[in-house]
Structure 1
Amino acid sequence: MITSKQRAFLRGLSNTIQPTTHVGKEGITDSVIDSIEETMITRELIKIKLLDNSGLSSKEAGSVLADKLNAECIQCIGSKIVLYRGFRRDPQIILPRK
């Protein structure tokens, strides 16, 4: 579980990254989940963009993706979602203490 201080730290880091995956009119499909899963193997923090024709709100999509990917939904704002899943070994992002 991530604390509010850690969440704020991760939100600050996410400001500089570009979206790695786009969710389109098909919504959250297995191929989208597989694509995000592959990205999360190399990155701990990713940004996802929902296209206007996806028919989903960012909060809906963020909670579904976080559940399916065993990740934390850090931020859902506008059409962007930020997900975090720390590496078990050799983490790249060191979270602040609680």
Structure 2
Amino acid sequence: MLNKDQKKELRRLSHNENTVVSIGKNGLTETVLESFELALVSHNLVKVGIQKNADITIDEVVEQLVDQFACELVSKVGRVAVLYRYSSKGRIKV
């Protein structure tokens, strides 16, 4: 579990990151879930964006990703969420 200072640091780091996973009109497909898992392992900090034409909300996406991948929500603004899971192989660590 991340504390307040760790989340603050991760939010700061996330500003320089690009959106790695983008969810479109098909929602959370197997391909999206696989790319999210790979991004978590390689980066630890993943920015997820939802396109305007998606039928799923950011809250639904965050809930499913947190449950399925045991990661933590760092921040959520508009249609963009930042999630974190520690991995020794990952690029960003707190």
Contact 1:58 1:77 in 2 (8 A): no
Partner of 1:86 in structure 2? 86
Task: Report the TM-score, using the length of structure 2 for normalisation.
Answer: 0.88
TM-score normalised over the length of structure 1? 0.85
Measure the CA separation in 1 of the matches of 2:38 and 2:90: 17
How far is 1:90 from its partner? 5.9
How many percent of aligned residue pairs carry the same amino acid? Answer: 28
Q: CA deviation at 1:91?
A: 5.8
Q: Show structure 2 runs of 5+ residues with no match.
A: none
Divergent runs of 4+, >2 A: 89-95
Against the structure 1 CA distance between its residues 61 and 91, is the aligned structure 2 distance closer, same or farther, given a 3 Å change threshold?
Answer: closer
Residue number in structure 2 paired with 1:71: 71
The residue aligned with 2:24 is 24
Aligned residues: 94
- Unmatched runs of 5 consecutive residues or more in structure 1: none
Computing the radius of gyration from Cα coordinates, the structure with the larger value is: 1
Separation in structure 1 between the aligned mates of residue 89 and residue 44 of structure 2, nearest angstrom = 11
